[in-house]
Amino acid sequence: MAEEKLKKRAFLSSQIDLSKFNAKDFEKATDEEKRQQDVMGESTTFFKDGMRRLRKNPLAMASIVVLIIIIAIAIVAPHICPYSYSSIITVDGRRDKGATDLEPMQWSELEAQYMEKTGKKLFPHIFGTDSMGRDYFIRVVYGTRVSLLVGIVAAVMVLIIGLIYGSIAGYFGGTVDLIMMRIVDVIYSLPDMLIIILLSVVLQERLTPLIKGTSLAKLGANMISMFIVFALLYWVGMARLVRGQILQIKNNEYVLAAKSIGTPNGRILRKHIIPNCLSIIIITTALQIPSAIFTESYLSFIGLGVSLPLTSLGSLANDARAAMQTYPLRLVIPAVVISLIVLAFNLLGDGLRDAFDTKLN
């Protein structure tokens, strides 16, 4: 037998002591035994893992719910509510001049008469009406739409420009990086709010004749100039962040491996590097939205916002200032909505950071 041929185990040797085993130990495993080795749990991906942690964060979930409700109202309400944000309430085809400055859930005389006469029920003025006789609820809804639109468009623009710029600078390094980052440094040290104000003032003059009659005219020159300024100035933070991340990641072995088999630069960036800094990018984008909404409402408040008759939450608050003693609700409602949106996005961003940025914990 083979056993006999084997030398006796030396002291402290790691050679297997076959004398301890018998033939039964070398039998094939049955199917049932094999199945015990199967991994039962689904393998988690990075994204799933983060979502699981996010779901456990009550504040973040609450803010998601609040945001969904606000967005749903902003989308659906204009289809349900029969009033328009820009025109005076009409009853039976007639302009209702008595419908100005109504308290919430109140009817004007004409509307009350109409309802009595026909027995039909009119849609209530949930927040009352403004001094021009327009339904205030629908104006707040449109204001919210504008604010959300600005926030999201700005965040997407910052994301795209910052991501491309930052990844090029970070990936190629050297002189390219040096020059590109000097430009970023200069833009970063500019006082952004002042430049925004300045450009809004000027672009308004320039753009108004340019966009007249096009579909852009409805948005107004101010909105467009705001977007231009966001695109010009706000991406630098994102670009710096992406660059820093990429500088770290590009020294990893898998990047070297990809390079050594001749993967083109663009593909390495897309497939290997950007997915690895995705968490920070997501978090920063989420936090960009409230800051853009902040800026928009600020500009609207000092009179550089969307053009009439369109409105935003900031300009609603500004308009309400004149009569805030008599109609405080008109000021409080847009103020609360802005704060709620910004708060919800901030909390969501914090929650995302806790959930996705595992290095922080």
Partner 1 sequence: MAVVAFIAVSAITFFVMNLIPGGPFTSEKAMTKEVIATLTKRYGLDKPIGVQYLNYMGNFLRGDWGVSLKTQREIWPDLQSRFGVSARLGLSALAIATVFGVIFGSISALTRNKWPDRLLVVLTTLGTAIPSFVLATLLMLLFCMQLNLLPIWDVHHPNYILPIISLAVYPMAYITRLTKTSMLDALNQDYITTAKAKGVPESKIIFVHALRNALIPVVTYLGPEVAYIITGSMVVESIFTIPGMGTMFVQSINDRDYPYIMAVTIFLAMLMIIANLITDIVYKIIDPRITFD
Which residues in this chain contact partner 1 in the complex, by CB under 8 A? 185-186, 189-191, 193-195, 197-199, 201-202, 205-206, 290, 294, 297-298, 301-304, 314, 317, 321, 324-325, 328, 331-332, 335, 338-339, 342-343, 346-347
Rounded least distance, CB 325 to partner 1, Å = 5
**Residue 109 or 185: which CB sits closer to partner 1?**
185
Q: Element (H or E) spanning 32, and its range?
A: helix 31-35
Q: Identify which of residues 282 and 320 has a Cβ nearer to partner 1 in the complex.
A: 320
> Among residues 142 and 301, whose Cβ is nearest to partner 1?
301
CB of 224 to partner 1, least distance (A): 15
The token pair that represents 300 in the structure block: 């609207």
In the complex with partner 1, the residue whose CB is nearer, 30 or 325, is 325
Backbone angles phi, psi at 40, to 5 degrees: -80, -40
Q: Name the minimum Å distance from CB 37 to partner 1.
A: 42
Q: DSSP characters for 206-241? A: HHHHHHTTSGGGGT-HHHHHHHHHHHHHTHHHHHHH
Burial track 298-324 (b if 16+ CB lie within 10 A, e otherwise): bbbbeebbbbeebbbbbbbbbbbeeee
User: CA–CA distance from 339 to each of 146, 254, 336 (Å)?
Assistant: 15, 45, 5
Min dist. Cβ of residue 190 to partner 1 (A): 6
C-alpha to C-alpha distance for 162 and 128, rounded to whole angstroms: 43
Nearer to partner 1, 170 or 290 (CB): 290
Q: How many helices (H) and strands (E) does the chain have?
A: 15, 2
Strand boundaries in 48-149, DSSP class E: 90-91, 94-95
Least distance (Å) from partner 1 to the CB of residue 340?
8
CB of 108 or CB of 300, closer to partner 1: 300
CB of 250 to partner 1, least distance (A): 22
Nearer to partner 1 by Cβ, of 182 and 267: the residue is: 182
Q: Who contacts 289 (Cβ-Cβ below 8 Å, separation ≥6)?
A: 151, 152, 154, 155, 345
Least separation in angstroms between residue 346's CB and partner 1 is: 6
- How far lies 319's CA from each of 126, 150, 322, in Å? 19, 20, 6
Q: Looking at beta carbons only, is 64 or 195 nearer to partner 1?
A: 195
**Nearest to residue 125, comparing CAs of 104, 109, 146?**
104
- Shortest distance, position 306 Cβ to partner 1, whole Å: 16
